[in-house]
Amino acid sequence: MRPLHRGVNSAQTAGRGRTALRPVPGVVSVGSPLALTGPDRTASLAQDVASHIGTSMEVLELLKDHSPMLARWGRLLAERLTGGARLLAAGNGGSAAEAQHLTAEIVGRYDGERQPFSAIALHGDSSAMTAIGNDYGYHEVFARQVRAHARAGDILILLSTSGKSQNLLAAAGAARECGALTWALTGPGPNPLSVVVDEALVLDGPNCHVQESQLVAIHALCACFDACVAGEYSGAERPSGLRED
């Protein structure tokens, strides 16, 4: 019986020796000293980790100065959402993940049982995102959704480390047209986004540490929100005056 060959036949491979693999730029090979582990290498990495955490703590100290703002935001968010308003949130990349984290806490729960409230992460609808991006351009992917979902009295939160994203700037403009309140969490300012929203929490620091601190800000905001909601009412009964749309 003739052997069954798949792909390259034996004639093509005959006499062909084993070719040495060429190193890929930026990838550490097994035989490289950098791939070896040991006390010295671990100590060096530990110093890098400690430095990262130290810088993060410095940015968190800056965030602490904004505690009154976050408390005020949490109280206003509770007042509006218990009255039937809606929270919209948007960001790009890691900021999109944090925006979705926030809306998940509002629709689900943060720390303690309470009723759900309306909150939408605008990047979560991939079909709408890609359709709008394809038809109108990526700068419109959030703005068009804001025009569709936002009503007067709603709140739009925009997250960005740079404060320069065109789609977030367009979303802020659309929210203003709808009569929605706009807040932003950004990196060093002033920046384009921080000056076009109603209020911005601006943090100085490297992008990664700003983003880490923004997650802490989101949790603090949720803690304030829950505390205020608990003070408004309890139980599953729907408060009067909530809109039905």
Task: Give all domains of the chain, ordered by start, each with its CATH number.
Answer: 70-232 (3.40.50.10490)
CB 142 within 8 A of CB 165: no
Per-residue pLDDT of the chain (245 residues; tens, 9 = 90+): 554 544 444 445 444 555 555 665 555 554 555 555 667 889 999 999 999 999 999 999 999 999 999 999 999 999 999 999 999 999 999 999 999 999 999 999 998 899 999 999 999 999 999 999 999 999 999 999 999 999 999 999 999 999 999 999 999 999 999 999 999 999 999 999 999 999 999 999 999 999 999 999 999 999 999 999 998 654 444 333 333 33
Q: What is the pTM of this model?
A: 0.79
Nearest to 77 by CA among 67, 69, 85, 66: 85
> Cα angle at 61 between 59 and 65, to 5 degrees?
110
CB 125 within 8 A of CB 151: no
Distances in whole angstroms, Cα of residue 20 to Cα of each of 17, 23, 34, 162, 224 = 9, 9, 20, 45, 61
| Length of the chain (residues) | 245
